[in-house]
Structure 1
C-alpha cells in the first residue's frame, strides 16, 4: 500500500504533514487523521509514533490542553476552552487538565507555564501555531554562530558565481556611486569592489588572528576572487569553529596590524565580519539585479530548507495558514 507518510510529498515538509493530519480541527478521531494522510489507522499510528515518540491521539490531546491553558490564561472561560479542546463535558476536561498540569483550570493565570513534557518537542505556540524544540531530550542544539558563518561563506560563493557570468563592463560598473560601508575601506559601488571587500575582510582578520603579516591586495577579477574566497572561506570557518570549541569568544586579540595596535574581543571580531558581510552581500544583490541577473534573497531560512532537502521556499505563518 502506498502511503503519503512514508516519503515527503513534493514541496511539503514531512513532519508538518503528519502534524497537520493529527491537529486538523476536523480530525477528532484516529481514522480521520489517517484518512487525511491516505493511510490505514494502524500504519499511520505506527509511523507517527516512530517519528515523534508519541501516539497521534496523545500528541493531539496534549497540544490541545496546552492551547486550552493559554486560552484560559487569556480570559477564555473554562467551559469554552473545554469544548474547543474537544471534550464532551467540563468535568472530563477539568480532570484531564488537572492530571496534566497539576492544578485545576481555574488556577491558570496568564503567566503560568503552559508546555507539558513532550518526547518530540512539539508544543502549542500562540495564537494558532506550533513550536518544535530541537533538543527536547537534551541533545546539543543548533550552533547559531556556526550556522551564520557557513551561510555567509556559502552565500558569498553563490554571488561570486553569478558575478562571474557578467560582462566585464557590468562587473566593474559603478552601480551605486558613493556607497561606502566602512570609511577605511573606501567606496565599493561596483560588484567587483564589493566582492573584493567581502573576501578581503576575512583575509585581513585571519592574518590578525593567526599572527601573520598584513596580506597584500589580491586581484579582483572573478576567477581570482573565487580562488581567494575558497581559501579564505575555508580558513574562516575553521577559525570560528576553533573559537567556539574553545569557548574563546571573550579572549582578546592584540592586533598589531593596526597603527597603533588595538585590542579586540574574538567574539566581537566574528560579529563584525558577519555584520558587514551581510550588508555587502545584499549590496551585491541589488547591483546584480540592476544588471539584469535573477538572484535570490540570501535568506538563511531558504538556505536551511535547501540543505535539509525541502524544496519549498520559506513561508510566513500567515502565508502557511497554520492552525492547531
Structure 2
C-alpha cells in the first residue's frame, strides 16, 4: 500500500471523526492538528496540498452535506443546525443558503434533493457517517474483472501450497456434500487437478495448441503429474498464462470475438468473454470446495478465500 495514500487517509479520518458530535474545543484547527500529531501549519498545508481544500473549509462542507442528508430524511432544522456546529438556527440557515442557494426547509423530507456541494477533490459525505473518496487519479481505475481474475489466480496457488502439507490418504479422500453436485466423489487432489487442467485446457484452446495430456481435462496425464509438487509446477505456468491471456483479451476489447474450440467433441464456438466467465464461474465453485476441505483437515490460513481480504492485503 502506498505510504503517501495511507497518510492522506489518516489525515482525512481525523477530519471525518471530528464531524461527529464533539465539544467545540475538540474540533478547532489546532485540536485537529494535534490529533494528527502535526503543528497547525503543517496540518493545514498537507491537507490543502493533498485535496485542494483547506481542512477548515473541508470540514464545514462535510458538516453541511451531512446536514442536508439529515434534512432530506426529515430531521428538524434546529436539531440539524446545532449538530452542524452552528450557534443558532439563523446562523445555520444563512450558511446553508449561501452553500445550497435555498433554505434548509426546502430539503425537508425530499428524498430527491441534492446534498453534495461542489468540491475540488470529489470527496463527499456519505451517510450514515463516512466519506466517499474517489480513487487515486494517478492510477487506472479499479477493474472488477481484473481483480477477480487476479484473486482467482492467487487463491488457487495458495490452495495448492497449503494442500501440499496433507498426506496422500487425505488428498484422495472423497469430499462429501449434502447434495449431488459437480465433481461429487472427487477428493481434494482431483479437485485441484481440475482447477489446474481447466486453465491449461482453455489457454491451449485459445492459442490453438494441445493441452497437457492431449485431452481437455488432462485425464490422460500420468499419476506423476497429479502429485502436489507436480500440480504446483503446472499451475506456476498455467495460472499466470491464463491471467495474461484473459487480461490481454480485455485490454484489446475482444470479449465478443469468437473462436472454435477444437478440443471439444464435437468442436464448439465460444466468445472470449464466455470463456473467461466460464472459467471464473467454475473455478469459484471448486475453490470454495477446496477451501472447505482444507478447513475440515485443519488448515484455515486462507479463511474462506474472500476477495476483500485479498484486495486489502495485496501489494499496490
Fold shared per TM-score above 0.5: yes
Normalised by the length of structure 1, the TM-score is 0.82
Match of 1:82 in 2: 81
Report the secondary structure of 1:264's partner residue. Answer: strand
Contact 1:249 1:267 in 2 (8 A): yes
1:209-288 map, 5 Å = 209-216=206-213, 217=218, 218=221, 219-288=225-294
Distance 2:125 2:134 in 1: 11
Secondary structure at the counterpart of residue 86 of structure 1:
coil
1:17 matched to 2:10? yes
Q: Which moved more, 1:13-22 or 1:271-280?
A: 13-22
Residues 306 and 239 of structure 1: CA distance in aligned 2, closer, same or farther (over 3 Å): same
- Which residue in the other structure is 2:175 paired with? 175
- Given that 1:121 and 1:134 are in contact with CA atoms closer than 8 Å, whether structure 2 keeps it comes out as no
Q: 1:102-117 alignment to 2 at 5 Å?
A: 102-108=101-107, 109-117=110-118
Per-residue deviation, residues 208-265 of structure 1 (Å, max 9, x unmatched): 2222235422422111111111111111111111111111222223323222333323
Give the 5 Å matches for 1:55-134: 55-108=54-107, 109-134=110-135
Conserved? CA contact 1:180–1:188, under 8 Å: no
Give the direction of change, closer, same or farther, for the CA distance of 1:138–1:14 in structure 2 (3 Å limit).
Answer: closer
1:142-153 to structure 2, matched below 5 A, reads: 142-153=142-153
Pick the aligned partner of 1:300 from 286, 299, 307.
307
SS of match in other structure, 1:199? helix
1:249-292 CA-to-partner distances (Å, cap 9, x unmatched) read 22223323222333323222212211221221121111112111
Provide the residue aligned with 2:187 in structure 1.
Answer: 190
The answer to whether the 8 Å contact 1:188/1:194 transfers is no
Could you list the runs of 5+ residues in structure 2 that have no partner in the other structure? Answer: none
Taking the aligned partners of 2:260 and 2:125, their CA distance within structure 1 comes to 48
Q: Distance in 1 between matches of 2:200 and 2:180?
A: 19
1:22–1:56 CA contact under 8 A, matched in 2: yes
SS in 1 for 2:184: coil
Quote the offset at 1:152 in angstroms.
Answer: 0.8
1:160 Cα deviation (Å)?
Answer: 0.8
Cα 1:150–1:188 change in 2 (3 A) is farther
What SS does the aligned partner of 1:248 have?
Answer: coil
Do 2:51 and 2:121's aligned partners in 1 also have CA atoms closer than 8 Å?
yes
Range 51-60 or range 220-229, more displaced: 51-60
Query: Aligned partners of 2:9, 2:207: CA distance in 1, in Å?
Result: 45
Higher RCO (CA-CA < 8 Å; seq separation 6+): 1
Secondary structure of 2:125's match? Answer: strand
- Please state how far the C-alpha of 1:15 moved relative to its aligned partner: 4.1
| SS across alignment from 2:287 | helix
Number of residue pairs matched by the alignment: 295
Q: What's the CA shift for 1:157?
A: 1.1
- RMSD over aligned Cα, in angstroms? 2.5
1:200 paired with 2:201, answer: no
* Structure 1, unaligned runs of 5 or more: 1-6, 310-324
